[in-house]
Amino acid sequence: MRFFQSILISVLVVAPTLALSGNPARIPGTRTRSLLHRIPGLPVLPTLKEVQSHRVSESASLNLTDIQFDIVVGQQKIKQLFYFFTIQNATDFKTKLKDNVAPIVTSALQMLSTSTQPIVAVNIAFSQTGLTALDVTDDVGSQEFTAGQFQSATELGDDPATWKPELAGTSVHGVFLLASDTEDRINTQVAALEATLGTSIAKVHSLLGASRPEPNVGHEMFGFLDGISQPAIIGFQDPSPGQAATPPGVIVIGKDGDDQAASRPDWTIGGSFLVFRQLDQMVPEFNKFLLDKAPTSTDLTVEQRTETFGARLVGRWKSGAPIDLFPTADNVTAATDINTHCPFAAHIRAMRPRKGIPFDLGTSNMIMRAGIPYGPEVTTEESQSNTTTQERGLAFVAYQSSVNDGFVRLQVLWGNQENIFGKPLPHGVDPIIGMPTANRPNRWVTGMDPTNPAANITYSTTFVVNRGGEYFLTPPISALTGRLSQ
Ligand code: HEM
Ligand SMILES: *[C@@H]1O[C@H](CO)[C@@H](O)[C@H](O)[C@H]1NC(C)=O
Ligand SMILES: *[C@@H]1O[C@H](CO)[C@@H](O)[C@H](O)[C@H]1NC(C)=O
Ligand SMILES: *[C@@H]1O[C@H](CO)[C@@H](O)[C@H](O)[C@H]1NC(C)=O
Ligand SMILES: *[C@@H]1O[C@H](CO)[C@@H](O)[C@H](O)[C@H]1NC(C)=O
Ligand SMILES: *[C@@H]1O[C@H](CO)[C@@H](O)[C@H](O)[C@H]1NC(C)=O
């Protein structure tokens, strides 16, 4: 009975919206449940009221009705599809971009309350070859973006042979990011977009991301809570205790904190560069590595040893609790505490060097992460055989106004180097994302044994393999009806 009632109600709600909108790309309906997760330990989004009462300088102010939501909202989606496409007929596409796509692109402001969220949140971003296809030849101020990610695959530490053929090269012109609470709703949105856009575009690749099931909601595939340390963007939210604040221009193009603000084309202001990487995670292999290489100097049980080793590699326990504050055991109630002391090589310390470096890093290297896991949970067979047979990992997404100061700095300089900033103790590459290279197939790491920090662990296993990616520009919504569709 309840089932029929809800159908009846949704028909009543849906029908007038459909008649009014007349846009076949729009999925009608209103929301009663947020499409974002509220994950304990992750930064809380500001409410609509907070945003509206936020007083910041003109140069820091953000037009939240013009900014695509994913740039500022972070990693809290329930399901999200990445739909990569190539533009086949630019004239046709521009008309539809303006008339049908732009009206359904979701702004940051819309995401802040459930009642203003759409059934499926839609974002769109373009690669350099996509802009070129649209005959937009403006210099947007990023060499990395202009060249495309595949061009620097080797520099990033990837083996180009591991890239999926669909992503290798520069044939991806754009990507739709479609977020919702169910896969069905996403599929409905895909069908509506495909029907509307017709042959103006063609799908090149897609990847469905989903938050992991209980009890791992919010955790990445190795088991660690992800998305804890995100910068608070001044002009959007106030930093919570211990959270680093960043001028908006480090993330949002053209704003206070973007070094190149003066030379950016007008239509890019309010946009951001989206770095996408499809990072396969070899979970059974990672777990075997933990078992095989965990320091044995302490009288811990095997389970405690492997948990501790994993935590030292990441810099946080699986719950998110920082290991500098809780060096010997996880503490779930401390998941949001900030971190200062942990192994130099630990992922979080490599990605955000702190203490023990000769200068203040400032904020220019901060990124806003917005990734989501993909693939099934590890099966018993995979875990018993220590072998991955199904693709799973992290659909890595990072936003920044400078690809070079953000993602590239983190991956190439801080992630892939064995001894950054001449640290007192050489530490080896970031064990999570530091990539092996042809002349350095074996990676090594120190700082993992608390009783002997210099102990050197050498390993040839790779746990994270990039299957491809691209650099995109997520433009402000106004550019979709303006420069990009002219
Ligand atoms: C499959 C690959 C990856 C996994 C499993 C992973 C996992 C994690 C985890 C568990 C954390 C700690 C929780 C948090 O603060 O959110 C973290 C933090 C972070 N990760 Fe990753 N990550 C991956 C790839 C990357 C990549 C490719 C980058 C950038 C090049 C990156 C940059 C960061 C940053 C900046 C932080 C926050 C550091 C801090 O300020 O404490 N991660 N990651
Ligand atoms: C903010 O963006 C919206 C949508 O693009 C636009 O209509 C509005 O004029 C902008 N507001 C300001 C103050 O620039
Ligand atoms: C591209 O689309 C336009 C507008 O819909 C149409 O007139 C034109 O014939 C198409 N061009 C090609 C090559 O299909
Ligand atoms: C766990 O962390 C909480 C909050 O920081 C603290 O009050 C509590 O004492 C800690 N428990 C242990 C066993 O360390
Ligand atoms: C999986 O790895 C563990 C740890 O090295 C080992 O004890 C176990 O025998 C391995 N299982 C198989 C099937 O190889
Ligand atoms: C750790 O061992 C590797 C080889 O196994 C070596 O190349 C590296 O220099 C060593 N690191 C330190 C700090 O001793």
CA–CA distance, 313 with 326 (Å, rounded to integer): 14
Alpha carbon nearest to ligand 5 atom 1, residue: 386
Average pLDDT over residues 92-112: 97
Which amino acids bring their CB within 6 angstroms of ligand 3? 89, 91-92
Amino acid sitting at position 122: V
Q: 379 in ligand 6 pocket by Cβ < 6 Å? A: no
- Locate 361 and state its tokens: 């890093």
Q: Are 182 and 79 in contact (CB under 8 A)?
A: yes
- Locate 28 and state its tokens: 């009608």
Q: Which atom of ligand 6 is nearest to the CA of 427?
A: 13
Q: 333 in ligand 4 pocket by Cβ < 6 Å? A: yes
To test ligand 6's pocket by mutation, which of 423, 429, 444, 458 has the most ligand atoms within 8 angstroms of CB?
444
Q: Which pTM was predicted?
A: 0.94
Residue 123's nearest CA partner among 88, 173, 65, 82 is 82
Residues with catalytic roles: 226
Residue 8: band (very low, low, confident or very high) from pLDDT cuts 50, 70, 90: very low
> CB neighbours of 410 closer than 8 A, spacing ≥ 6?
350, 351, 365, 367
Q: Are 225 and 367 in contact (CB under 8 A)?
A: no
- Residue extents of the structural domains in the chain: 2-27+43-280+469-485, 283-364+402-462
Half-sphere exposure of 260 (CA within 13 A, CB side): 21
Q: What is the pLDDT of residue 7?
A: 35
Q: How far is the CA of 287 from the centre of ligand 5 (A)?
A: 10
End-to-end CA distance of the chain: 51
Q: What is the pLDDT of residue 335?
A: 59
**Least confident stretch, 18-27, 211-220, 283-292:** 18-27
To test ligand 2's pocket by mutation, which of 106, 110, 478 has the most ligand atoms within 8 angstroms of CB?
478
CA–CA distance, 120 with 78 (Å, rounded to integer): 11
Q: 450 in ligand 6 pocket by Cβ < 6 Å? A: no
Residue 88 pLDDT greater than 80, yes or no: yes
Q: Are 308 and 300 in contact (CB under 8 A)?
A: yes
CA–CA distance, 349 with 343 (Å, rounded to integer): 7
464 phi and psi angles, rounded to 5 deg? -125, 125
Q: Which atom of ligand 1 is nearest to the CA of 224?
A: 10
The pairs formed by 430-434 with CB atoms below 8 angstroms and a separation of 24 or more are 430/345, 430/347, 430/350, 430/351, 431/313, 431/345, 431/346, 431/347, 431/463, 432/222, 432/313, 432/314, 432/347, 432/463, 432/464, 433/279, 433/347, 433/464, 434/157, 434/350
Q: Are 337 and 353 in contact (CB under 8 A)?
A: no
Q: 334 in ligand 4 pocket by Cβ < 6 Å? A: yes
Q: Are 313 and 445 in contact (CB under 8 A)?
A: yes
Q: Are 343 and 446 in contact (CB under 8 A)?
A: yes
The model's pLDDT over 63-81, given as tens digits with 9 standing for 90+, comes to 999 999 999 998 889 999 9
CA–CA distance, 373 with 88 (Å, rounded to integer): 30
To test ligand 4's pocket by mutation, which of 324, 333, 338 has the most ligand atoms within 8 angstroms of CB?
333
Alpha carbon nearest to ligand 6 atom 4, residue: 458
Other Cβ atoms within 10 Å of 197 Cβ, number:
22
Residue 37's nearest CA partner among 237, 288, 248, 214 is 214
Provide the phi-psi class of 22: left if phi over 0, else alpha when psi is between -120 and 50, else beta: left
DSSP state of 411: I
Q: How far is the CA of 376 from the centre of ligand 1 (A)?
A: 21
Burial of 381 (0-12, 13-18, 19+ CB in 10 A): exposed
CA–CA distance, 215 with 217 (Å, rounded to integer): 6
Q: How big is the chain by its Cα radius of gyration, in Å? A: 22
Nearest ligand by distance to the CA of 41: 1
The model's pLDDT over 351-397, given as tens digits with 9 standing for 90+, comes to 998 877 777 889 999 999 999 999 999 999 999 999 999 999 999 99
Q: Are 255 and 446 in contact (CB under 8 A)?
A: no
Q: What is the pLDDT of residue 59?
A: 63
The model's pLDDT over 428-486, given as tens digits with 9 standing for 90+, comes to 999 999 987 777 889 999 989 888 888 999 998 889 999 999 999 999 999 999 999 99
